Amino acid sequence: MTQASTEKIRNIGLFGHGHCGKTILAEAMLLNMGVIHRLGSIEAGTTVSDYTKEEIERQMSVQVSLMQGEYHDHFFNIVDAPGFADFIGDMVSALRAVDIAVLPVDGTSGHDIGHTVAYESGEKFGLPRAFFVTKLDKEHTKWQEIVEQLTEDFGKKVQPVHFPINPGPDFDTVASGLTLKSYRYMRDGSGKVEELPLEGEAKEKALEMRAKLMEVAAEADDELIEIYFEKGELSEEQFVAGLKKGFATGKLVPVLCGSGLGNIGVSRLLEFLIHEGPSPHDRTSIVAETGSGALEEIHEDESAPTCALVYKTITEPHVGDLCYVRVFAGKLEPGGEVLNTHSGQMEKIGQLFHVDGKTRESATKLVAGDLGAMVKLKATHTGDTLSDKAKGYKLPRIQFPAPVLEMAVAPKTKGEEDKVATGLHQLQIEDPSFNAEHMPELGQLVIRGYGDLQFASILSHLKDRFHVDAELIEPKVPYRETIRGSSDAEGKHKKQSGGRGQFGVCNLKLEAQPRGAGYEFVDAIVGGAIPGKFIPAIDKGIQETMIRGVIAGYPVVDVKVTVFDGKYHDVDSSELAFKIAGRNGFKAAFKKCKPLMLEPVYDLVVRVPEEFMGDVMGDLSSRRGKIQGMEGEGRYQVIKARVPQKELYRYSTSLRSMTQGRGMHSQAFADYEIVPPEIQDKIIAEFVEEQEED
């Protein structure tokens, strides 16, 4: 591949719901660029972007992939992001690497929740977005309905720039409101096209489309709007400049059309991205923190100090870590050195690659605006910044969405717990979109992520790379124990077995504390009833008991303990005796204080198509959820609720099943609330039964 100059680069990300046509659109783009000579097949596992064993078996993208090619003297970096919510972390990573988000939409079914998430995420990152309605060569296409729905859901800035002449099984022609011409494609998938004049109704429609686009172009720039009001139109040069600015700033979200599988309209998409799409030079400046702590704008300039982001790390057999990188300023060259400003280590650059899926071609350098891959970096992983040492640039870390699914992981063979933990730790370094944590109070290794598919992928990596079989089990809930009232009790430890004995007595008073106040210990001993040197031992015995729990084996919270009296023996008293006495006294007083249990409760935000709202609301009620409110967002309803953690087990899976994969949710820990009596009794009974069995 010829080395690109920054102004000739176009960095394109393909985003959207699963099975909307992203992978095949990427294939068609590569075919037009001459990178491949025939379209690959998802069913046959021959596409460029879905090349891993897991992707071929599942017939879906499970990780972000990079493809590169040349078209009309421009250099395209195409990033294909997974469409399923289980792999949303890779979508977020891809958004940090590209300059334009293209959202393929199925021409028979329209856009879906995955498109909404991608669209809103692109808006958050300030990325220009474009829709490409594909599969228009299928039966029952809904071009006009889809355009109207896109406009309704995302606003009037959504404007078609092309339209299909004959959508359906005979589809072969795309008309342009920009050029006022039509483009008839060969039906052999070659992408060969014949340019034709527009006539009749199609011409009128194109003229109407162009008039709307001219308004949008004028509104993108203050000078252009004045010219438009004065003259009633813009020159061709002004029109193109306005479109380009409107697209770059998000004031125009163009809708294009075609078929990836038929390779129809794809060349028009590429032409649009060349002429109206922003190069890295045109994007909004990136702000980075320097080594001195100051904030500085980074401009996509090859002569500037180097600043690059590692947006994805993939480990491959016989290669090791392959770091996918976006260069924002300066350049990377083999043999050079850069500072990893997150780890603080210097990294020597070895080989650089341009990438087409699993195929890699050596690169002499990667310039500002380019994407590529690096190998054999010592301490660099996803989200790290590579910088010129003198500047010490540090870009913001990639912020992944909060996890929505939590599971415990256990080895299938006893004794391999350490291997599982080590493997998960390494996988988490490579892919921070999930996290693994050992929960001592629960005795479980818990992973948190986005769905069953992601977790299945993680288990597959554990087996293939770390040679350990693991399984997912239901995670325990971190309940808490506390009290409602106050009471006092005597704690005693007395043991005589010949020689020196053990003796300690303490009188304790327990009181409930406000929620979240924690533990408070008060020494109210007067007159030397207990020598001061033994008081810390009583406190220690109480705290040890609080960790283990009293009624159900869960930590105790929000109690105030006052030691107000006691007895000791000059010879037989010891710190151990008073620690045990404190433990016994705390348990006795706790059981007299109307003990209760608390459960973690989460704030839930569920977004679903309106037709599924009733089912989702009913399901939330069955999960002891408390509805906090509802509001409409286009075709979707947003439901806010509070739901106990226990009832959220596999909720993401259930939600997708209820909504045909079109519902999504986010969740965040809110607070602890009192467990209903009937559930508390069941938890305590199970604990007592386990104790008896032990």
Return residue ranges of the chain for CATH 3.40.50.300: 6-282
Please state the pTM of the whole predicted model: 0.87
CATH 3.30.70.870 residue window(s) in the chain = 405-473
The H or E element spanning position 1 is: none
CA distance 396 to 584: 52
Q: How far apart are CA 686 and CA 54, in angstroms?
A: 40
How far apart are alpha carbons 361 and 351 in whole angstroms? Answer: 10
Single out the residue of 627, 621, 602, 616 nearest to residue 662, CA to CA: 616
Question: CB-based burial of residue 692 (10 Å sphere; 0-12 exposed, 13-18 middle, 19+ buried)?
Answer: exposed
DSSP 264: B
405-473 CATH: 3.30.70.870
What is the three-state SS of 280-324? HHHCCCEEEECCCCCEEEECCCCCCCCEEEEEEEEEECCCEEEEE
Strands 9-14 and 100-106: what pairing? parallel
- 4-42 b/e with 16+ CB inside 10 Å = b? bbbebbbbbbbbbbbbbbbbbbbbbbbbbbebbeebbeb
Classify domain 286-387 at the CATH superfamily level.
Translation factors (2.40.30.10)
Measured CA to CA in angstroms, residue 464 lies from 65, 316, 427, 495, 503 at distances of 20, 11, 12, 57, 58
Query: What are the helix (H) ranges across 196-235?
Result: 200-219, 222-231
Q: What is the dihedral of CA 292, 296, 302, 307, to 10 degrees?
A: 50
CA atoms of 284 and 289, how far apart (whole Å): 16
The set of residues, in sequence order, having a beta carbon less than 8 Å from that of 483 and lying 6+ positions away, is 510, 512, 559, 590, 593, 594, 595, 596
Distances (CA, A) of 621 to 342, 526, 642: 45, 54, 10
CATH 3.30.70.240 residue ranges for the chain: 597-678
- Max Cα-Cα span within the chain: 113
Collapsed DSSP state (helix, strand, coil) of residue 359: strand
Tokens of 161: 């720039």
Q: Are 563 and 506 in contact (CB under 8 A)?
A: yes
pLDDT tens digits, one per residue of 594-648: 999 999 999 999 999 889 999 999 999 999 999 999 998 877 899 999 999 999 9
For domain 597-678, the CATH architecture is 2-Layer Sandwich (3.30)
Q: Are 116 and 30 in contact (CB under 8 A)?
A: no
Q: Read off the tokens for 325.
A: 């990188």
Query: How far apart are the C-alpha atoms of 211 and 218, rounded to whole Å?
Result: 11
Distance CA 434, CA 524 (A): 48
Say which residue the tokens 């591949």 belong to.
1
480-593: what CATH class?
A: alpha beta
Which residues of the chain are modeled with pLDDT < 50?
Answer: none
Q: How many residues does the chain have?
A: 694
The single residue listed with the structure tokens 């500002």 is 368
Residues of the chain with CATH 2.40.30.10: 286-387
Per-residue model confidence as pLDDT tens digits over 226-264: 999 999 899 999 999 999 999 999 999 999 999 999 999
pLDDT digits (tens, 9 = 90+) for 44-89: 999 999 988 888 888 888 889 999 999 999 999 999 999 888 899 9
CATH 3.30.230.10 domain span(s) along the chain: 480-593
Among the four given CATH numbers 2.30.29.30, 1.10.510.10, 3.40.50.300, 3.30.70.330, the one describing domain 6-282: 3.40.50.300
State the pLDDT at residue 3: 63
Instruction: Specify the pLDDT at position 185.
Output: 97
Distance separating the N- and C-terminal Cα atoms of the chain: 67
Sheet holding 352-356, edge to edge: 345-348, 337-340, 385-387, 307-316, 320-329, 371-375, 352-356, 359-362
